[in-house]
């Protein structure tokens, strides 16, 4: 069953054709990696799916529903979670408050003026933090966390709306070697437990080959190859533009 | 630790740095001898760019030493490091978009330096004939390849002893990559010392004398290009997939 | 109106446009390279005017004396600007923007009092330019020769600056630094000298503009704020960092103002419109329109995100039980204050409480919202006028007036906020300033309703609250309750959403928070609280004038918030009380209270770049880094 369909996506910047007719899909429960050299259009493509950039052409469908150009906050309501290349959390709040706010927002209670935010959704917040292994750090200000833990916290927030689809832009960038493996294992476990689909961009090939069910390769705004790990590994074009000759 | 070679121009020991909470480099050690080209190889995110930025003083070194011609430079501001003879060519090119080619060169102009080739716009236009045909073109109106030539030329205007080149082949058409390789080989003949960060192994092989492989913020291998190719284990582990 | 009148006004407007452009170009240059919004730029202009007049007297008459004075004054101001950069700003380039701003406010205060010491409180008329006192005949209309000179000078300076920037190495370096400071540094350019040089040039232009105005406008101590607001308007309308845009904006503003003068009173469809009354407000209306239609001015481009200095975020804390005990004890002490205090102290304490509420309301926008409002006095003033007008015009009882005032202020805040949240950073700050100036000038000029510049007198509290002690209690109760409500909202989901938008806009969007809407709703909340403070202020003074919402009140608010520290609600409350008390205390001892206050702020900014409360908390908590 297809969850996300990317249909002929287009984006121009001035004279540059950043994304030129890219189409692919993500099935329910599938983990898909989007890879390619810098400037291949990965980030642009990703941000068009995630609602940060409006496409010039093409469509994005979520379970058959057209979500092209919908802002990120609307996608959240439709069950899409998002993490960023440079992990961003609300630095002035504690770890628990970050997750509580995401939960409050999911419950349409983020504009409340009278209740105390720190009392809200305590049990759900605890469960989410436990799921990403941050339970013991719940009371810490989140700008004092190690970077790997910031990434985990971001993941917890992205899971607050019980998403169908998780969009992760370079989920392991800037992390220590050990943390990379742990974070992606965590994501894979969550996928295995539910029908969560994941679309992620990544430069670390260990992560890609360790955690992607399928790989989509972009170069110069075009889709060059897609398929299983084995198919992509031996694809001569992919070797030439990205993986390198010595493979 | 080995003793620095007598002809060491740049000596890097146990360098650590990063951005905010994210540590990128974990004790990088490197040596650059006068007149050689060293390729810093590694995947995206391995720490290549951060290494160059830290050497240039653009990212603060948290630990370790950087010595240029016997003088400690870690902790100095970028402009002082530049004036001591280290040139930096950034990965994103960062040409001044509103300035013309000539103006871009003018920003970086420094007096001649003993022990380093002296560059003028005229000599640079011989190296990159394309640039000479667009002296009054603004940086923002140039193609990626032209910008890459400009950003290298701009750094050379400071008459550096050594240049840190961050992925000069990145995102360029193959034909431009060939021209870049030719130009860098020419710079080497001029006696310029170069530290080249690269992902494109073929490009690096064409111009480098030695290679250092960086992976997850640490140097995993150093040796000549021949040694690198002879060492199948290293190749498979760090360069191959 | 005759065609000749129009021509005369037009020439005057064009001459004004020239000095306006000189002033604004300096501000634009400085902002472009250093990213510092220099509030003291208007003060440098004022020093230019005073200095030139003083020099002209001492250099003796004749062309040499006059022009020598102009040149020396301009150069002197350039040196002053460079000194200011070296002594103050250079040390805080790494600090958050708002602290740089606070430091330049402090310089404004210091310069104002130094000028007062040197030249006294009276306006000083300058000499006319020897040899240029006559007039040229144009279409039968005498055109002052000096105006013609100024009209020519504007484009000449524009051209000279363009040449400097386009044709010299220094200019090339400046343009490069405006684009990418870090890269310029990596190419071997010492930014430190570049910045000082730009400051000197920009300040020199302000000084020159001030000096050239000496025959046209008397030197007065109010010139600094007038000049800085005019300069901001021109720079923002023209587009930050664009000299051509600033020139165009100065021309448009000069001409539109001239047209308003020339049109005078016009009968239109039975209504009498007095256009000359519009001159006070027209530039702000123009700015609001420009920003609403073209958010980056005529020629500006979106600013690259101004960096927030790392480590400036203070964590929200749920205060410990001890905090509440202390807070309760302080409130109890305040309630008991009349037992020991005399009337004078009570009036001062009432003021302190009112301004604590005002500062707390501004903090609500600036702290959790990250929305720097430079025109917060508008809501204070609207609240004050709503209460005053209800009492005087409608004969409403005090409680009704106090109840209605916050709603009036909130209504305006809802409208203003809708426009403001579409912008960010400096542009947002300028738009809030524009709205405040529009409201102020309406109050100033709508004689029939607001009492015009005389304001409203005889707005006294109800008999049961007329006693100083009773009114003090009323104030304490209302202010404490409102601050408590603000605190409640800040710690409710709404406050967290607001903070989320400030901390990480993208992240907030990704968890379904509509950041713009949350920010928009913050405006009426803050506006209502400021409106209540304004209403209480009217009743405590018994009268009000447009001054209650002048720029200087907005500036006072900013100083209070930044002085106390923007990170916590306690900060602004303490800052406001400290500021009000200090002002009163120093004022009783010396007329140079601004100098003392300015120096104090400078010391505080340089020593505690987090504000008093923020820094104290850090000291107390030790290793909180």
Regarding whether C388 and C254 lie in a shared domain, the answer is: no
Regarding whether C176 and C72 lie in a shared domain, the answer is: yes
Q: Residue A233: list chain B partners with CB under 8 A.
A: 241
A132 touches A125 (CB < 8 A) = no
C247 touches C154 (CB < 8 A) = yes
Domain's final residue, options C293, C318, C353: C293
In a domain, C130, yes or no: no
Task: For strands B86-89 and C141-144, give the pairing.
Answer: unpaired
Regarding whether C352 and C236 lie in a shared domain, the answer is: no
pLDDT for position C180: 87
pLDDT for position C96: 72
What pLDDT digit, counting tens, does each position of C337-378 carry? 888 888 888 999 999 999 999 999 999 999 899 898 889 999
Q: Which domains does chain A have, with CATH numbers?
A: 2-79+163-243 (3.40.50.300)
Question: Which residue in C316, C511, C521 is closest to A76 by CB distance?
Answer: C511
Once rounded to an integer, what is the mean pLDDT over residues C439-445?
86
Task: For strands B210-215 and B37-41, give the pairing.
Answer: parallel
Give the Cα separation of A200 and A50 in Å (integer): 11
Contacts of A11 (CB under 8 A, 6+ apart): A17, A18, A19, A41, A44, A45, A48, A53, A55, A56, A221
What percentage of residues in chain A have a pLDDT greater than 90? Answer: 51
The DSSP element (H or E) to which A123 belongs, if any, is helix A122-131
Regarding whether C381 and C529 lie in a shared domain, the answer is: yes
The neighbours of chain C, by the rule of 3 or more Cβ pairs under 8 Å, are A, B
In a domain, C595, yes or no: no
Domain's final residue, options C491, C525, C551: C551
Domains in chain B: boundaries: 8-239
Contact call for C493 and A118, based on CB within 8 A: no
Q: From the CA of A38, how many Å to the nearest CA of chain B?
A: 7
Q: Which of A124-128, B46-50, C197-201 has the lowest mean pLDDT?
A: B46-50
Most confident residue range from A37-41, C42-46, C552-556, C578-582: C42-46
Q: Look-up: residue for tokens 């398929």?
A: A227
pLDDT for position C306: 37
Q: Residue C314: list chain A partners with CB under 8 A.
A: 92
Q: From the CA of B199, how many Å to the nearest CA of chain A?
A: 8
A20 touches A10 (CB < 8 A) = yes
Regarding whether C353 and C284 lie in a shared domain, the answer is: no
Q: What is the CATH number of the domain that holds C38?
A: 1.10.3470
C497 → chain A, closest CA residue = A110
Higher-scoring residue by pLDDT: C49, C558: C49
- Give me the domain span that covers residue C25: 3-120+139-293
B153 → chain C, closest CA residue = C187
What percentage of residues in chain B have a pLDDT greater than 90? Answer: 61
B39 touches B15 (CB < 8 A) = no
Residue C73, pLDDT above cutoff 80: yes
Q: Look-up: residue for tokens 């979520």?
A: A62
Once rounded to an integer, what is the mean pLDDT over residues C265-269?
70
Number of structural domains in chain C: 2
In a domain, C604, yes or no: no
Establish if C310 touches chain B: CB-CB under 8 angstroms.
yes
Contact call for C510 and A76, based on CB within 8 A: yes
Residue B90, pLDDT above cutoff 60: yes
In a domain, C264, yes or no: yes
pLDDT for position A213: 94
Regarding whether C63 and C192 lie in a shared domain, the answer is: yes
Question: Which residue in B23, B43, B235 is closest to A203 by CB distance?
Answer: B43
Regarding whether C491 and C392 lie in a shared domain, the answer is: yes
Question: Which residue in C488, C507, C514 is closest to A90 by CB distance?
Answer: C507
Q: Of the candidates C274, C215, C287, which has an alpha carbon nearest to the alpha carbon of residue C15? A: C215
pLDDT for position C312: 43
| DSSP tag of B146 | H
pLDDT for position A219: 86
Establish if A101 touches chain C: CB-CB under 8 angstroms.
yes
Q: Residue A150: list chain B partners with CB under 8 A.
A: 21
In a domain, C625, yes or no: no
What pLDDT digit, counting tens, does each position of C382-395 carry? 999 999 999 988 88
pLDDT for position C105: 84
Regarding whether C235 and C143 lie in a shared domain, the answer is: yes
Contact call for A110 and C503, based on CB within 8 A: no
Regarding whether C361 and C259 lie in a shared domain, the answer is: no
pLDDT for position C301: 65
Domain's final residue, options C257, C273, C293: C293
Residue C203, pLDDT above cutoff 90: yes
In a domain, C175, yes or no: yes
What pLDDT digit, counting tens, does each position of C98-142 carry? 778 878 988 999 999 999 999 999 999 888 888 787 788 777 778
Residue A172, pLDDT above cutoff 70: yes
Q: What's the CATH fold of domain B8-239?
A: Rossmann fold (3.40.50)
Average of per-residue pLDDT values in chain C: 86
Give the Cα separation of C148 and B225 in Å (integer): 74
Question: Which residue in A145, A174, A204 is closest to B24 by CB distance?
Answer: A174
Task: For strands C456-457 and C543-544, give the pairing.
Answer: antiparallel
Give the Cα separation of C292 and C297 in Å (integer): 9
The half-sphere exposure of C311 on its side-chain side, counting CA atoms within 13 A, is 11
Q: Which of B83-87, C263-267, C300-304, C458-462 has the lowest mean pLDDT?
A: C300-304
| DSSP tag of C376 | T
The phi and psi torsions of C443 (rounded to 5 degrees) equal -60, -40
- Per-residue pLDDT band at C619 (split at 50, 70, 90): low
Once rounded to an integer, what is the mean pLDDT over residues C243-261?
90
Q: Residue B201: list chain A partners with CB under 8 A.
A: 244-246
Q: Residue C180: list chain B partners with CB under 8 A.
A: 94, 96
In a domain, C303, yes or no: no
- Best of C367, C370, C496 to disrupt the A interface (most A CBs within 10 Å) is C496
Q: Is B203 exposed, middle or buried (0-12, 13-18, 19+ CB in 10 A)?
A: buried
Once rounded to an integer, what is the mean pLDDT over residues C311-320?
55
Residue B43, pLDDT above cutoff 90: no
Residue B143, pLDDT above cutoff 70: yes
In a domain, C624, yes or no: no
Q: Please tell me the total number of residues recorded for chain A in this structure.
A: 247
Q: Residue C565: list chain A partners with CB under 8 A.
A: none
Residue C397 CB neighbour total at 10 angstroms: 11
* Residues of B within an 8 Å Cβ radius of C: 20, 56-58, 77-79, 82-83, 88, 90, 94, 96-99, 103-104, 106-110, 154-155, 158
- Per-residue pLDDT band at B241 (split at 50, 70, 90): very low
The neighbours of chain A, by the rule of 3 or more Cβ pairs under 8 Å, are B, C
Q: Residue C172: list chain B partners with CB under 8 A.
A: 99, 103, 106-107
Residue B7 CB neighbour total at 10 angstroms: 12
Could you tell me the CA-to-CA distances from B67 to B180, B200, C45, C177 in Å, in that order?
29, 28, 49, 28
- Best of C186, C189, C309 to disrupt the B interface (most B CBs within 10 Å) is C186
What pLDDT digit, counting tens, does each position of A80-134 carry? 999 988 788 998 899 999 999 999 999 998 888 888 888 888 899 999 999 999 9
Give the Cα separation of C554 and C505 in Å (integer): 27
Q: From the CA of B21, how many Å to the nearest CA of chain A?
A: 5
Average of per-residue pLDDT values in chain B: 88
- Per-residue pLDDT band at A163 (split at 50, 70, 90): very high
The DSSP element (H or E) to which C348 belongs, if any, is helix C343-366
DSSP string of A152-219?
HHHHHHHTTT--SEEEEESTTTT--HHHHHHHHHHHHHHHHHS--EEEEE-S-HHHHHHH-SEEEEEE
């Amino acid at each position: 069953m297809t969850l996300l369909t990317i249909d002929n996506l287009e984006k121009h910047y001035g004279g540059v054709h950043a994304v030129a007719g890219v189409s692919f899909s993500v099935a329910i429960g599938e983990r898909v990696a989007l890879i390619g050299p810098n400037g291949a259009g990965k980030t642009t493509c990703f941000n068009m799916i995630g609602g940060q950039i409006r496409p010039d052409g093409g469509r994005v469908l979520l379970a058959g529903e057209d979500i092209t150009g919908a802002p990120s906050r609307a996608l959240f309501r439709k069950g899409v979670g998002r993490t960023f290349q440079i992990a961003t959390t609300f630095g002035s709040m504690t770890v628990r408050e970050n997750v509580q706010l995401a939960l409050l927002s999911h419950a349409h209670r983020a504009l409340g003026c009278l209740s105390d935010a720190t009392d809200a959704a305590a049990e759900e917040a605890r469960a989410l933090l436990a799921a990403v292994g941050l339970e013991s750090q719940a009371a810490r200000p989140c700008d004092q966390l190690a970077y790997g833990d910031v990434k985990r916290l971001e993941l917890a927030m992205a899971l607050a709306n019980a998403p169908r689809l998780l969009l992760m832009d370079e989920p392991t960038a800037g992390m220590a070697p050990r943390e990379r493996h742990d974070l992606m294992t965590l994501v894979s476990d969550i996928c295995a437990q539910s029908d969560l689909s994941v679309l992620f961009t990544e430069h670390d090939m260990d992560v890609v080959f360790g955690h992607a069910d399928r790989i989509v390769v972009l170069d110069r705004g075009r889709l060059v190859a897609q398929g299983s790990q084995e198919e992509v590994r031996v694809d001569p074009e992919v070797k030439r533009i990205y993986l390198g000759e010595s493979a | 630790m080995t003793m620095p070679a007598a002809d060491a121009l740049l000596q890097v020991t146990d360098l650590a740095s990063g951005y905010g909470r994210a540590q990128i480099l974990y004790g990088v050690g490197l040596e650059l001898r006068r007149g050689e080209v060293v390729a810093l190889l590694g995947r995206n995110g391995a720490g290549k760019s951060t290494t160059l930025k830290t050497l240039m003083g653009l990212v603060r070194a948290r630990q370790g030493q950087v010595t240029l011609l016997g003088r400690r430079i870690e902790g100095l501001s970028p402009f002082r490091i530049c004036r001591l003879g280290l040139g930096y060519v950034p990965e994103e090119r960062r040409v001044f978009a509103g300035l013309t080619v000539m103006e871009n060169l003018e920003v970086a102009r420094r007096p001649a330096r003993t022990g380093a080739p002296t560059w003028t716009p005229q000599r640079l236009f011989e190296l990159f004939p394309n640039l000479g045909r667009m002296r009054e073109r603004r940086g923002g109106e140039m193609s990626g390849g032209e910008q890459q030539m400009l950003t290298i030329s701009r750094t050379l205007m400071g008459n550096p002893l050594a240049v840190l080149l961050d992925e000069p082949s990145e995102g360029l058409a193959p034909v431009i990559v060939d021209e870049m390789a030719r130009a860098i080989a020419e710079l080497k003949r001029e006696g310029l010392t170069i530290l080249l960060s690269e992902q494109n192994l073929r490009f690096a092989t064409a111009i480098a004398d030695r290679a250092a492989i960086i992976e997850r913020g640490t140097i995993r291998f150093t040796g000549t290009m021949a040694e690198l190719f002879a060492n199948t284990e290293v190749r498979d582990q760090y360069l191959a997939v | 109106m005759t065609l000749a009148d129009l021509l005369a006004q037009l020439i005057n407007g064009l001459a004004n446009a020239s000095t306006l452009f000189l002033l604004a170009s300096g501000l634009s240059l400085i902002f472009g390279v250093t990213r510092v919004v220099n509030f003291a730029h208007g003060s440098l202009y004022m020093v230019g005017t005073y200095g030139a007049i003083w020099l002209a007297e001492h250099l003796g008459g004749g062309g040499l004396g006059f022009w020598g004075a102009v040149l020396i004054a301009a150069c002197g101001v350039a040196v002053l600007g460079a000194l200011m950069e070296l002594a103050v700003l250079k040390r805080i380039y790494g600090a958050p923007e708002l602290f740089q701003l606070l430091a330049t406010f402090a310089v404004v205060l210091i310069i104002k009092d130094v000028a007062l010491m040197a030249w006294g409180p009276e306006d000083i008329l300058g000499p006319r330019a020897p040899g240029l006192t006559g007039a040229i005949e144009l279409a039968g209309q005498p055109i002052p020769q000096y105006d013609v000179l100024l009209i020519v000078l504007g484009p000449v300076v524009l051209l000279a600056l363009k040449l400097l920037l386009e044709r010299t190495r220094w200019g090339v370096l400046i343009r490069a630094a405006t684009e990418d400071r870090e890269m310029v540094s990596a190419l071997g350019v010492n930014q430190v000298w570049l910045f000082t040089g730009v400051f000197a040039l920009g300040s020199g232009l302000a000084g020159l503009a001030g000096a050239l105005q000496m025959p046209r406008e008397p030197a007065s101590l109010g010139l600094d704020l007038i000049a800085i607001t005019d300069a901001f308007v021109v720079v923002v309308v023209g587009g930050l960092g664009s000299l051509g845009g600033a020139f165009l904006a100065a021309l448009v503003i000069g001409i539109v103002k001239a047209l308003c003068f020339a049109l005078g009173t016009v009968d239109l469809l039975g209504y009498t419109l007095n256009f000359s009354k519009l001159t006070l407000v027209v530039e702000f209306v123009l700015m609001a329109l420009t920003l609403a239609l073209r958010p980056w001015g005529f020629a500006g481009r979106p600013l690259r995100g101004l960096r927030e200095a790392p480590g400036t975020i203070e964590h929200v804390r749920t205060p410990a039980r001890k905090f509440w005990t202390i807070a309760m004890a302080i409130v109890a002490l305040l309630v008991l204050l009349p037992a020991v205090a005399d009337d004078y102290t009570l009036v001062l304490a009432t003021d302190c409480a009112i301004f604590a509420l005002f500062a707390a309301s501004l903090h609500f926008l600036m702290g959790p919202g990250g929305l720097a409002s430079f025109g917060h006095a508008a809501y204070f003033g609207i609240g004050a006028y709503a209460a005053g007008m209800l009492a005087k015009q409608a004969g409403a009882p005090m409680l009704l007036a106090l109840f209605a005032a916050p709603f009036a202020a909130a209504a305006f805040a809802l409208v203003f906020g809708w426009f403001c949240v579409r912008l960010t950073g400096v542009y947002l700050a300028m738009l809030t300033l524009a709205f405040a100036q529009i409201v102020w000038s309406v109050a100033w000029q709508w004689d029939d309703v607001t009492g015009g510049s005389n304001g409203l007198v005889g707005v006294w509290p109800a008999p049961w609250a007329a006693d100083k002690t009773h009114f003090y209690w009323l104030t304490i109760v209302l202010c404490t309750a409102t601050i408590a409500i603000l605190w409640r909202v800040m710690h409710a989901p709404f406050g967290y959403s607001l903070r989320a938008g400030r901390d990480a806009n993208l992240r907030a969007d990704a968890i379904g928070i509509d950041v713009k809407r949350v920010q928009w709703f913050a405006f009426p909340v803050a506006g209502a609280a400021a409106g209540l403070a304004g209403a209480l202020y009217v009743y405590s003074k018994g009268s009000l004038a447009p001054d209650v919402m002048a720029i200087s009140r907005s500036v006072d608010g900013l100083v209070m918030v930044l002085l106390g520290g923007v990170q916590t609600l306690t900060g602004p409350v303490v800052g406001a009380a400290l500021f009000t008390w200090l002002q009163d205390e120093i004022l009783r001892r010396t007329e140079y209270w601004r100098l003392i206050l300015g120096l104090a702020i400078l010391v505080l900014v340089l020593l505690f770049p987090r504000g008093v409360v923020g820094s104290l908390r850090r000291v107390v908590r030790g290793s909180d880094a």
